[in-house]
């Protein structure tokens, strides 16, 4: 840092994992030390304890720890035997991991548009994506809605469409574990839910991690087998083709400590989001909050008039305020995904959002003074 920088220009973290680490203090060190003492690094007691806590937290019958959010998605798709000839509808405005495992298994991701007010799968575009899949001779097998930036998708509408077409729903809650939809926590709203514990996520570990949630006993048993190479009665009995998809005991130990403070952190994130909304609603389009859903605010993403974003990002950067663009390129604009079919009617909302969105620093340890500095800087930049 420039030693002459004014206190006001001190760099602000985008997500402050170090502040959380200070807050947790020796609790994490002690939890990791317990694993180092018993040496059960794989499938140790912390993994089972975490799975029980996660299931109780969200109300799902089963929580199954796995090696990442991507592997959580893969394990469910493998369990459902999704493959060539199957269409899986995914929103195009998401991180590409949502559609990645579908393509890896030889199935076809069919990309649908999102709603401008929630950034989440548009049920009308979803219906048009199913029609496109059928016209191409594909079997519509599953839908992967994403609860983007921490806010649940419209799960009731999606469930009704899935039921009408005999499709399964795998909820990609990588960014949104802890959020609620009509009074229910994510993890219980679809046949299966996948989440990520990547360090920057609202509930993150200190490496890679993830989980699958389901109420379906048979699916849970299959996922548990697949995460250990498709094991049968024991690990030297192979009944399915699987992967190394387990969550490490050390990561589970970290998550058990973090889960204790997670409810308070969700309240703090919500308070920060409300402060942003109050300070910015007249200069930008603030993200929607409704009475149907609560968000865990993985990102605080505002929309600007086209052409304003680059100037704002540069002005804020000069003042030590980081921003990020999620997502400048929706999946249908990505080299690896642009050949996949899209919903009839196009993906116009996603293309517009890709030009308009910008995310501001957001975490549970964002204090009011720092946030006022960010709000003030955004207001001055947009007025100029
Ligand atoms: C929407 C979405 N899906 C899936 C993933 C994959 O999670 P992981 O990085 O744990 O594999 C991410 C991670 O950023 C994500 O944002």
pLDDT tens track for 41-53: 999 999 999 999 9
- The band of 235, judged by pLDDT with boundaries at 50, 70 and 90, is confident
Measure the CA angle with vertex 190, ends 187 and 194; round to 5°: 50
pLDDT the model gives residue 381: 95
* Per-residue model confidence (pLDDT) at position 4: 43
Are 359 and 15 within 8 A, CB to CB? no
Ligand 1 nearest-atom number relative to CA 146? 1
Q: Tell me, in angstroms, the distance from the centre of ligand 1 to residue 247's CA.
A: 15
The band of 90, judged by pLDDT with boundaries at 50, 70 and 90, is very high
Q: Cβ atoms within 10 A of the Cβ of 16, count? A: 18
pLDDT band at 291 (very low <50, low <70, confident <90, very high): confident
Contact 120 CB / ligand 1 (< 6 Å): no
Beta strand 168-172 with 86-91 is unpaired
Q: What are 121-138's pLDDT values in tens digits?
A: 999 999 999 999 999 999
**Res 110 pLDDT > 70:** yes
Does the structure show a pLDDT above 80 at 3?
no
Pocket flag, ligand 1, residue 98 (CB < 6 Å): yes
Count of CB atoms within 10 A of residue 46's CB? 26
pLDDT, residue 255, reads 98
What's the whole-number average pLDDT of the chain?
A: 96
- Are residues 90 and 331 in contact, defined by beta-carbon separation less than 8 angstroms? yes
On the question of pLDDT at 5 being above 50, the answer is: no
Taking only the tens place, the pLDDT of each residue in 309-328 is 999 999 999 999 999 999 99
- The predicted pLDDT at position 8 comes to 63
Q: What is the pLDDT of residue 259?
A: 98
Atom index in ligand 1 nearest the CA of residue 175 equals: 16
Q: What are phi and psi of 231, to 5 degrees?
A: -70, 155
* Ligand 1 neighbourhood includes 146 CB (under 6 angstroms): yes
Ligand 1 lined by 341 (C-beta under 6 Å): no
In this prediction the pTM is 0.97
- For the CA of 197, the closest atom of ligand 1 is 10
Is any ligand 1 atom within 6 A of the Cβ of residue 97?
A: yes
Q: Which residues neighbour 184 within 8 Å (Cβ) at sequence distance 6 or greater?
A: 59
For the cut 50, the answer to whether the pLDDT of residue 359 exceeds it is yes
What span, in angstroms and rounded, lies between the C-alpha atoms of 83 and 90? 15
139 CB burial (10 A radius; 0-12, 13-18, 19+): middle
- pLDDT of the residue at 2: 40
């Amino acid at each position: 840092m420039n030693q002459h920088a004014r206190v006001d220009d001190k760099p602000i973290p985008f997500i402050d994992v170090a502040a959380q680490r200070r807050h947790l203090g020796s609790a994490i060190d002690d939890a990791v030390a317990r694993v180092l003492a018993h040496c059960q690094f794989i499938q140790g007691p912390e993994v089972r304890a975490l799975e029980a806590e996660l299931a109780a937290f969200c109300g799902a019958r089963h929580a199954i720890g796995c090696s990442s959010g991507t592997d959580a998605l893969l394990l469910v798709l493998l369990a459902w035997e999704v493959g060539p000839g199957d269409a899986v509808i995914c929103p195009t405005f998401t991180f590409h991991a949502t559609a990645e495992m579908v393509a890896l298994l030889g199935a076809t991701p069919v990309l649908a548009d999102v709603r401008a007010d929630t950034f989440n799968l548009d049920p009308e575009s979803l219906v048009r994506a199913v029609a496109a899949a059928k016209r191409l001779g594909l079997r519509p097998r599953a839908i992967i809605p994403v609860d983007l930036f921490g806010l649940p998708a419209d799960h009731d509408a999606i469930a009704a469409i899935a039921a009408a077409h005999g499709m399964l729903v795998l909820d990609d809650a990588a960014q949104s574990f802890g959020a609620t939809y009509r009074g229910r926590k994510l993890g219980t709203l679809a046949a299966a839910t996948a989440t990520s514990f990547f360090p920057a996520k609202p509930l993150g570990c200190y490496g890679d991690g993830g989980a699958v949630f389901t109420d379906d006993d048979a699916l849970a048993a299959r996922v548990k087998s697949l995460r250990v190479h498709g094991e049968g009665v024991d690990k030297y009995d192979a009944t399915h083709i699987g992967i190394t998809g387990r969550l490490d005991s050390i990561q589970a130990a970290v998550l058990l400590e973090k889960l204790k403070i997670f409810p308070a952190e969700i309240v703090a994130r919500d308070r920060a989001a409300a402060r942003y909304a109050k300070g910015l609603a007249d200069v930008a389009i603030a993200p929607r909050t409704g009475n149907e859903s609560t968000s865990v605010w993985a990102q605080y993403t505002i929309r600007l008039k086209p052409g304003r974003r680059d100037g704002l990002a540069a002005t804020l950067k000069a003042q030590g305020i980081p921003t990020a663009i999620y997502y400048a390129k929706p999946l249908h604009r990505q080299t690896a995904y642009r050949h996949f079919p899209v919903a009839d009617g196009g993906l116009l909302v996603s293309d517009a959002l890709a030009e308009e969105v910008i995310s501001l620093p957001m975490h549970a340890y964002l204090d009011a003074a720092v946030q006022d500095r960010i709000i003030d800087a955004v207001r001055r930049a947009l007025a100029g």
